[in-house]
Structure 1
Amino acid sequence: MNADTEFDTLRREWREMQDRLAAQQALNLQLLTENRIERARSRLRPLLAGQVLQVMVGGLCTVFFARFWIAHMDEWRALVSGLLMHGWSVALLLSAVVEILLVLRINYAQPVLTIQKYLGVLQFWRTRRAPLLGLAFWVLWLPLMEVLLKYFTGADVAAGFLWANVAVGVVGFVATLWMFRRLQRRGHRIVDAIDADNRGCGIDGATALLADIRRFEAG
């Protein structure tokens, strides 16, 4: 066997080895992707179940507060309180529907980068929009108190107490948003902790699993 023949044989064997390694790498990537994608999907199931429960709670609250304000249309304090709580209940319901649609819209057959983008939208909603429902209770605890007091006892919250605490609540709501945005601009770790709590472990877990796939693809 001459030198040229030996070189051609060696080159052919090297190319075959490269092809086998590439095939093995592709198989490993496929197996890793399937495993991580399924685990990411499972991480979001508790979140989905929680939002279904929120839809049910929001629906019940919507019906209750709607019936309340309709029954008290001749009493302005109870009427306004009922309308405010009715509006909040609808917002609670719609927020849950939005999250459910965002979760269900994720197509796990799409590229990992596309799935990550959908998770980013879901994360944005849970950290920047949904928390407003809780912050609203700086003020809304007073209409809620009025509704419950009226419903169970027939009495109203004292006007002086109501207006004083509405003013305090408005100031508290604005101050909380201002402080949060100020800390956010500074990149304070408190904001990271709040965001992590609002995201929930499901989104964080799914994001980490998808990042594993991206690292494997890049490496």
Structure 2
Amino acid sequence: MKKELLQAVANSRRPGADGVRAKRAVLDATEALESGVDASTPFGEVSGRWSLVYSTNDDRGPPGLGPLQGVIDTDAIQKLTSQLYQVFFTFLPALAGSAETGAKGVANEQVVDIPNGRVVNNVDVDLPWPIGGARVGVMGEVTANDPEGREVVVTFTSWELGPKPGQRDRGGDPPRLQLPLPRPKGVLRNTFCDDTLRISRGGRGGVFITSRL
């Protein structure tokens, strides 16, 4: 079932693929894998380093927030009144290579540390000259609602924008822009997790498939 899911994701990325059919195939394979999970199925460690493989959102609520809308609840969205935050949450899924955008030339990493209550999302992207390589980071707090971490609550606390790690200018480390967030909170259900793959669902319909690094 895992192989079929990953094959469906790979097929969705092929040039000329029918977006609607490809998305349906991925979601069907996702649901098939989830349906095979029962009380006897081992559940892996949620904490670790993960990379986004595929994400989509079937929510029909307010437009413009992309797949992250599937995680953040409505009350939290209403708190994002700053235009800067609106722009940030609109484009982060694209930078993360969301399946709905087909973004290329990006790399992403999510660090989940439930014992220490920490979650970090970093997206590295190559932008046109003169900007070059850039990193967008979102930091937050995470707590588990059960011992295995099948349901977690994430509170986004801050974000930063700067060059990729290792990029230096003549003056030393380039400056990074860091700003707080108005602590939007969301609930994420981990419906499948093993040594290599994790499937998560947000409270508003978002589906996130991540691979363990």
Superposed pair shares fold, TM > 0.5:
no
Give the number of the structure whose residues are more often strand, by fraction: 2
Larger radius of gyration: 1
Give the number of the structure whose residues are more often helix, by fraction: 1
TM-score for both structures, normalised by structure 2: 0.24
TM-score for both structures, normalised by structure 1: 0.24
